[in-house]
Structure 1
Amino acid sequence: MDKDHLVVLVMLLCMYFGTVAACGNRKKCNPADKKPCRDCFFCKKNKKEKHVCFKVREQTVVTIDDLKAIIRNFESYTLTMTDVNPKPKVFDPTIGYGFSLKRGDAKATFNKVLPGVNFDKVLSGKKAITWEQAKKLFHHDIDNIYIPRAERKIGKKLFGGLTMNVKTAIVNAFYRGDIGPKTIALIKQEKWAEAAVEYLNHNGYKNAKKNGMSGIIPRMKCNAEQFKKVNKPPPPKKKCKEE
């Protein structure tokens, strides 16, 4: 058996036992890349202090830093002002991981999070920010806007009792703005299977499938996958050698 066939065989065996992410099939990654890992994976250090891609699931998503890394992996980033709205008469200047430069508190947030950075020059496109500065803006918004919003909309007690992978899916959905009131209501009733179905019954998801917008579909499917796992026992752990 040649090397290529052996690799395929190992991957199939891992998939059969549901342990692709646990077996030695983790791709090395650089968290500073615009897309460190493929969809529904995220980049973090393993036990050997090497950055590798982990599958999004209960056993791997354990900290707020993991939550942030997952959303960043879906978002990508821009270090110079970019108009993200394709409509010619609408100006939507954006920087970093989807930070809107036209929102009401944009300048105040810059002054607080990135003191010394000239907001007006960034807005005009004359000045770029660094990757670390992009992360600071992103972390500020996750900590001060999107996690509190999820707690408020879902209920602090319910949200606080969820595993981190499910919290991540909810915050990810709020960050992108694709979680509707019906999905929120079903989550509050803890009807997770129904919530997963309703979440994908969204115009954004339907339009993405219709128009071939590849980035939206796997992101929403990954979130729905986490909803479906609530109250289900985790798969048995397999001891596999890491890279």
Structure 2
Amino acid sequence: MTRILALDTSTEACSAAVIADGKTFVEFDVCPREHNKRILAMTDSVLTQANLKLADVDVIAYGQGPGSFTGVRIATGIVQGLALGADKATVGVSSLRAMAHSIFRTSGQTHIISAIDARMNEIYLGAFIIEEQGSVQTVIQDTVCDARNSLKALDSQIVWQAIGTGWQTYHAELSQQINAQVNTQCTFPNALDIALIGLKKFSEGDQQSAAQVSPVYVRDQVTWKKLPGK
């Protein structure tokens, strides 16, 4: 059974998780500007709880963004160092996908819109359909955009679940476009969801070497893709 370590520092939250032998171990905290101080300690903690050393894991997953530029760089830099030192494969996971997956994991809801406040009057946006743990179908590809008129590609007959700081900052602009219920319990990505998605990707051969670890900012990608027929 694959053993995976996952780290995330892409938003105000900082988290680490291990899935090994059917058990999960998670450290999660909202600690803005403390990621550099906390993430390695969290990593050591989840490995210790799982009674593992870094050499025992098969793959390291990480939140690749979008999100805070500094936060995304912290995670990718640390994961690259760990993976190089231990000669481990890596898997990058979208922060927006991980947020959506947390809604599915905790409530079973399947249609989810993730939005992170990107400052400068913009949001990082993604929309997803999730019907199986670890497997996420994309409806709106990760992008950065003006909140206004950003959800026209979505089916307005569906009640969508909404997650993220973008919904707090631009609630009026977003909620008038779509029928959405904002989840106030989950706001940030969690390394547990990055691990679950990472396991699925790794099982499908979707992995990277340590040298290929890189952040995804999406600032230069301002269009989104539609599903066929939309």
TM-score bin, normalised by smaller chain: under 0.3
User: What is the TM-score when the length of structure 1 is the normalising length?
Assistant: 0.27
User: What is the TM-score when the length of structure 2 is the normalising length?
Assistant: 0.28
Relative contact order: is structure 1 or structure 2 higher (C-alpha 8 Å, sep ≥ 6)? Answer: 2
